[in-house]
Amino acid sequence: MNPAASAMSRMMLYVVLATVPFSAYKTSVYGIGVLVHLLLCVAACMVTEFVCMRLRYRAGRPIDTSAILTGTLIACCVPALAPWYVSVFASVAAVGLAKHAFGGAGSNVFNPAMTGYALLLILFPEAMTRWPAESVTSFDSIRAIFGATAAGRWDTLTGATSLVELRSGLGQMKMLGEILTTGDNAARGLGTWGTASIVAGGLFLLRMNVIRWQLPVSTLLGAAFCAGVLSAIDPDRFASATFHLSTGGILFAAFFIVTDPVTAARRGKARLVYGSGIGVLAILMRTLSAYPDGVAFAVLLMNALVPLLNELDRPTKPPSAARADVA
Amino acid sequence: MLDFLAVIIATATANNVILNQAIGADAALSQSQSAKHALSLGLLTGVAIVVSGLAVFFVDQYVLTDTGFVGLRLFVIVLITAAITLPLDAYWPSHASTNTVARGPLVLANTTVLGTVLLSMRDPASVTDTVALLVGHALGFLAVLLIVASIRQRVTRARVPTALRGGPLLLIVIGLLALAASGLDGMTSSS
């Protein structure tokens, strides 16, 4: 394996390691279903990767480890009681469609994990709401994932996430304060431990120089700014920036998705525009569109703009001269 | 004002001509060799959409409806869009090297313009709504054309599987773009 490829797969390994605290937190809250989906996603990604490499090259080429990361990231987003085929579908689409159709690792335009997840949101909207209620046994989780749950039992097994609750509450013309204080909203957000598990992973990646600070910081600032402006305009309808940052996928995406070196913008200014664009779009989609959480769509939209952003932020000097300047 | 902006944004993204209405998809496939060319053609089409859309609106409101010739609507719309698009295309300051290519999409640009103008007709129509829809469609068309052109430049350097090279991959790109834009669905109804 050449040095660049081995450096890349070491980085991928660090990112997988950094998601461990969050996966552990998610398992402790939502039960064994999280681990089942993790296994399903990683296995499906690896099999797809293997099949695609075989189809494209015939001769044995080393399997790219980024498929493990893609599987891990999808598993972090999928609800713990979703049926098994949801994870498999997202993994196959992520590796096959978003990565190999575009020329394989390093050439993909759209983030594979978010492509898979966004497809799930569109194709299996009902399955994507199956977050377990508080007391769900391991036996029930596994039965739910492999399709042995009677139709009438879902109501007792699943509970609405805070973003879904916020949306349906606003739909019933309730005031924001009322929605956030009644119901078990506090238990449904990320909570202190969930936030800590994501931030710990993110700090680890920053410490190991795997990710650059510009991307997560600009994403979070963009989201906080947009949520702040909206809630200043109409505090009864739009939740505060703190609520938005501590629920759903924004924090997770800021550290683990936006920072993907292949699909993110390359240079400083373009990076800031890319990150803050995701933050702003994610909040706009959450508050104004038909989906409770829009991070995946926001990431894909900004992914599409990356080639243009890179083009606009191209250095005026040729790269060799610029490097000589730095030295 | 906010409603006006929301209609423009929703029309440009969630109801995009290329991504959602599949009218300009042929233009996005064939006219995206370079960003510069895409910009030129996108601007031309955008201007043509807005100008002929407004012309159609006024003719429809104050000539056809008043005189009772509503049956001639489609015929008149085709004539107006052609009469505006042809001279615009002929005198459009396009990049010299792409000049001959720019002549080619005459018909393509026309179907995009005609389709978009028809899409922007509402009953009952108001001038602000029509302007918002037209500007939204024009911006959406331009944006997707630019994005597809820039992505196309990037994927030509990649080792794309032979069967997917060119058109097939561009169709996948447009499909994934539509997936991303669907995240903005429902923006106008809730605002």
**pLDDT by 10s per residue, chain B, length 191:** 777 887 888 788 777 888 877 777 777 777 667 777 788 888 888 888 888 888 888 888 888 777 877 777 888 888 888 888 777 777 777 644 445 445 545 544 567 788 888 888 766 678 888 888 888 888 988 888 888 888 888 888 888 888 888 888 888 998 899 888 888 877 664 33
For A22-56, how does the pLDDT look when each residue is reduced to its tens digit (9 = 90+)?
889 888 888 888 899 999 999 999 999 888 888 88
For B121-150, how does the pLDDT look when each residue is reduced to its tens digit (9 = 90+)?
766 678 888 888 888 888 988 888 888 888
How many other C-beta atoms are found inside a 10 Å radius of the C-beta of residue A246?
17
Considering only CB atoms, B146 lies closest to which of A56, A298, A308, namely: A308
Q: Is B62 exposed, middle or buried (0-12, 13-18, 19+ CB in 10 A)?
A: exposed
All residues of chain B having their beta carbon less than 8 Å from the beta carbon of residue A298 are 183
CA B31, CA B41: separation in Å to the nearest integer? 8
For A197-234, how does the pLDDT look when each residue is reduced to its tens digit (9 = 90+)?
888 899 999 988 888 888 999 999 999 999 889 888 87
CB pairs A-B closer than 8 Å: 101
CA distance B124 to chain A (A): 26
All residues of chain B having their beta carbon less than 8 Å from the beta carbon of residue A281 are 183
Give percent of chain A above pLDDT 90.
Answer: 22
Considering only CB atoms, A103 lies closest to which of B146, B160, B191, namely: B160
Tell me whether A300 touches chain B (CB under 8 Å).
Answer: yes
Question: Are B176 and B11 spatial neighbours (Cβ–Cβ below 8 Å)?
Answer: no
> Interface pTM (ipTM) of the complex?
0.84
Confidence at residue A59, expressed as pLDDT on a 0 to 100 scale: 66
Q: Is A93 exposed, middle or buried (0-12, 13-18, 19+ CB in 10 A)?
A: buried
In three-state secondary structure terms, A150 is coil
Contact B169 A104 (CB under 8 A): no
Residue type, A10: R
> What chain B residue is nearest to A111 in terms of C-alpha separation?
B176
Residue that is written with structure tokens 């990231």 in the block: A73
All residues of chain A having their beta carbon less than 8 Å from the beta carbon of residue B157 are 107
In three-state secondary structure terms, A160 is coil
How many other C-beta atoms are found inside a 10 Å radius of the C-beta of residue A203?
12
CA distance B80 to chain A (A): 35
User: Which pair of tokens denotes residue A208?
Assistant: 């190991």
Contact A304 B151 (CB under 8 A): yes
Considering only CB atoms, B186 lies closest to which of A97, A289, A296, namely: A289
Question: Testing the interface with A: which of B39, B150, B165, B173 to mutate, by most A Cβ within 10 A?
Answer: B150
Tell me whether B178 touches chain A (CB under 8 Å).
Answer: no
Cis peptide leading into B124, omega within 30 of 0?
yes
All residues of chain B having their beta carbon less than 8 Å from the beta carbon of residue A300 are 176-177, 179-180, 183
Among A298, A266, A304, residue whose Cα is nearest residue A282:
A298
107-146 in B: which are within 8 Å (CB) of A? 146
Contact B180 A101 (CB under 8 A): no
